[in-house]
Structures are given as structure tokens and as C-alpha cells.
Amino acid sequence: MHQYIKEIADFDGKKATLKGWVANIRESKTNIFIVLRDGTGFVQCVVGLNDVGEEQFEAAKKLNLESSLALTGNVVKDDRQIGGYELQAENIEIYHIAEEYPIAKKTHGEHGVRFLADKRHLWLRSKRQWAIMRVRNQIIMGIHEFFQDRQFIQMDAPIFTGNACEGTTTLFETDFFGEKAFLSQSGQLYGEAMAMAQGLIYTFGPTFRAEKSDTPRHLAEFWMIEPEMAFYDNEMNMDMIEGFIKHVINRVIEKCKVELEALERDIEKLAKVNQEFPRVPYTDAVKILRGEQEVNGRNAITVQEEDLANAQKGIEEKKADIAEREAKIKAGMKKGERRFNEAKIVVMRKEIATLEEQVRNIPKWIESAKSFEGGEDFGGSDETVLTRVFDAPVMVYNWPTKIKAFYMKEVEGDPDHVKGVDLLAPEGYGEIIGGSERETDIEILVRKIKEHDLPMEEFEWYLDLRRFGSVPHAGFGLGLERIVRWCCGLNHLRETIPFPRRYGRLLP
Ligand code: 4AD
Ligand code: MG
């Protein structure tokens, strides 16, 4: 038996054996300091010449990044160390001395995204990726917990499908024993069938979209959670969405303190989910976006102009700060102090790059927001501009019929709008959920299937759901990677899934 770093506090003052990999290493004449990682956490281990003897000490000198070993020794409290404990080794057993590790210790920024993506199988070991995958795990657990506690039945929808659920432009075609088949874009239609059998269901599975564009928000293979509720209208659907997101985010805040800290995620911003989510009809959202309607005295365009001014000011300030530090370094500084300042400068340069990107983008966003044509779908920047005036996630509902899927229920007396709802996450993360009340009128459905140029024979089974005990029902789909991105505060979906599949990326 060995112990795990996560439980190290239980071994305070006692002996423990840890097994893991070298995340960092440095040596002095008589001590080797190893930051060990074992998957559950990180801890400093000290291998002292006097404690392990000459032979083991010499062997330990050969250890390098990502070498694997077991260490047995005393656990001592040391508040200066990560996790608050240190292991003082008495015995070590080396499993493997690694080859020269291609990813530098402080991975961030030093390597290009392409290089890291090529090395994804190793990159997953870095602290940041480790933290993201653990947040993802807690999100998954939180999702199951929420639905299971509310009598929902989890169902597995097929991956090979005959029909297009979310439009024909993003279908991956495959050969199914000589027949044309598509990889599922969504389990929803099957979820609707199951909801008529079970009442409340949710799917949790992989979905596929041939998005031929390299954006931070699109993957070709992503995981979707799709609850479907019999006897629900869109109001009830929105209540469910709000409760669901609050539950999942609060669970992450509670269970992932270490991970969120490693990611430098501002928890206060996440905790803003604990207020009522604004519900805005699409037509109002358009006015807000264009700056024609204010939200609590905030105008979307003015807010962008302020953000722009602040970004410009931030760049000036940081540049001045860097110049000052550089002058001081030049004038002479102690080694430790110089290192500290140099590290600060690296961080500030990165922050400047981010701000400069904002300065380049915001004028374009303002232009696009002001000239937004009602009746269209919001683009990524439009979602950013719109959500910026709200603190909490926003639900936009009653969308133009022509931009939404065939199955959405028409608003009574207003066939140009459907009872769809999108949940837009704050801080620029944008759409994470799409949902709707479903059309129950078989005649309208038949007309819509034709209008959308979908093959009627593929939908016969679906129409049966409207022939045998048709009931009002609603549901939604959450993109797992989108909520992971928001929770972790990531720029891109490529880091949210172990092995991303997206345009231009099939390996590793
Ligand atoms: O809005 P979408 O297309 O809705 C549906 O698929 C419905 N059938 C859901 C339902 O009502 N049961 O997709 C739902 C969510 C989006 O809000 C987004 O979070 C995610 O799936 N998503 C993607 N995530 C990553 N990459 C992509 N290419 C995505 N496309 C959609
Ligand atoms: Mg959508």
C-alpha cells in the first residue's frame, strides 16, 4: 500500500510512501528537492544525503523531469510548501529515469499552442491541464447528481443516425454497411422519444459537428448533456436551466478550490451565478446590443467604449511599470530580487498582449453590434457585447423562426418566433446552452421538415411521438466543453477535453 498526496495531512508526523512523477527538481550539495505529483496533488519531497545514504543519493541525482519513483519518509508540516506539508525521504525506489522531457517546467507561454497540441499526451501532465481535467470531472459529477436527484433517467442515444437534428451543414457522413449514416449532432430527437416513455430523461454523450472553422468555441467532437422533460413549457425549461447551472457551478466552487487556484480563476466572478438569471426576449436583446435599450443604467456600446479606454490605459501603465523595473534591474539587484522582477515583467508582457488584442477587437465589436440586423443569429462578439452589461448568465428566448431548428414550437400568434432559449455565460464566454419547447402540432412539424429540406421518411418515427399521446415538452442541450471553459476561465476549447477533435486536429 502507498499513500496519495491528497491525503497527506492524515500522515502529519507519521511515515508515508508516495509514488509519482518528478514535476520539478533542484539539488544542493546535500539535498535534492523534488516536487512530486501523483495525480491527486503536488508535494515537495526532500532527499537528503544523510537520510538516504550515499548510494541512493547518487541514484537520485540522475532523476529528471517526469522520472517516476516511490519515496518513503516522514511527513512534516511546513506552511511554506504547496499543500502545507513536506516529505523527508528515508528511502527511494526509482521506477524510470525519463528521457529529456520536451515540455519546459513552466509550460505557459514558452511553447506555441501547436507544439503543445502535438504533445497533448504529455501536456496533460502539466499542472494547468491537470486542474482543468479535475474541474471537468466535478462538472460531470455535478450534472449527474442534479438530474439523478430529480428523478431523471439517464439514456444513451445512438451515435450513428439517419437524420439531421441541427441542420444539414455540419453533418459528418459515414458508411454504415453500405448505407449513408451520420454521426449524431444531438441526441435530442431520441431523448424526446424516451421522455414519452420515462417522463424525465437526460442524455450524456458525444456529439459531432463538422464545423470547418478554427474558432475557440467549436469542436468537431464534443460532449452534450440533453435533458428532455414531458409536460414542461419553455418557462419551466428556463427554471430548470437556471437551477441546473447554479448547482453545477456551486459544486465546482466547493469541490475544486485547489484546481481553481491553480488556474487563477476568479471565484467571485463564478459565484455571480447565485442571483436571478435575467430573461430577455430576443427582440430586446437586439436593442440592448445596438445600444438602444439600457440594462440597469448600462448601455452596451458605452460599456465597450469604457473597456477600450481602460485597456489603453492599462497598456500605458504596464509599459511604464516594465520600464521602471528594467531600469532598476540594470542598476543592479540581488539575484532573488532580479528573478522576481524578471518574472513579473514576463507576466506583464503577456497581460499587455491580451490588452492589445482587446484594443484591436473592441472597435470591430462595437461596429458589429451597432449595425446588427434583427432576425440574425448573434455572432461570438455580439454575445460578448451583450452579456457584458449583465453580471449573471443571461437567457435569451423567443428567437426568430428562420434561424432555429425545425422542432422548436412557434410562439402563439407569432409564427416568426419560436420558443427557443439560449443561455449566454458572462465574461465573454457566450452560448453554453441551447434549448426550446418542442412543436407538438404535427402539421406544423411536417411543414417545417419540408421547409428545412429534410427527408420526411427519416422523420416518420419522430412524427409518431405526435400521433400517440402527444404532450407539451421541452428540453435543452449543454455543451460540456463550453461550461468547462467558462468555469476554468480558458481562452479556447482545446484545453477543455482530453484529446480534442477539431478542424485540423486528429492527433494524438
Ligand atoms: O444549440 P445546439 O445546437 O442545440 C442542440 O443541439 C439541441 N438539440 C439541444 C436540445 O435542445 N436538446 O447545441 C447545444 C449546445 C450549445 O449551446 C453549445 O454549448 C454546444 O452544444 N455546442 C458545441 N460545443 C462545442 N463545439 C461545437 N461545435 C458545438 N456546437 C454546439
Ligand atoms: Mg445553439
Q: List, for residues 39-55, the tens digit of each pLDDT value.
A: 999 999 999 999 999 99
Ligand 1 atom 18, closest CA: 479
CA–CA–CA angle 186, 164, 242 (5° rounding): 30
pLDDT at 106: 60
Q: List, for residues 146-199, the tens digit of each pLDDT value.
A: 999 999 999 999 999 987 778 888 999 999 999 999 999 999 999 999 999 999
Residue by residue, DSSP assigns 182-244 as EE-S-SHHHHHHHHHHHSEEEEEEEEE----S--TT--SEEEEEEEEEET--HHHHHHHHHHH
pLDDT at 107: 45
* Ligand lying closest to the C-alpha of residue 403: 2
To test the pocket of ligand 1, the residue of 241, 482, 492, 493 to mutate (highest count of ligand atoms within 8 Å of its CB) is 482
Low-confidence ranges of the chain (pLDDT < 50): 107
Helix (H, G, I), strand (E, B) or coil at 429: coil
- Its pTM stands at 0.94
pLDDT at 81: 84
Q: Which atom of ligand 1 is nearest to the CA of 211?
A: 28
pLDDT at 121: 98
* Ligand lying closest to the C-alpha of residue 476: 1
* Ligand lying closest to the C-alpha of residue 474: 1
pLDDT at 105: 67
Which has the closest alpha carbon to 240: 277, 186, 284, 283?
Answer: 277
Q: How far is 206 from 479, CA to CA, in rounded Å?
A: 10
* Ligand 2 centroid distance, CA of 218 (Å): 11
**What dihedral angle (degrees, nearest 10) is formed by the CA atoms of 423, 427, 428, 429?**
-50
Q: Beta partners for 434?
A: 422, 477
Q: Which atom of ligand 1 is nearest to the CA of 188?
A: 12
- Cβ(156)–Cβ(135) under 8 Å? no
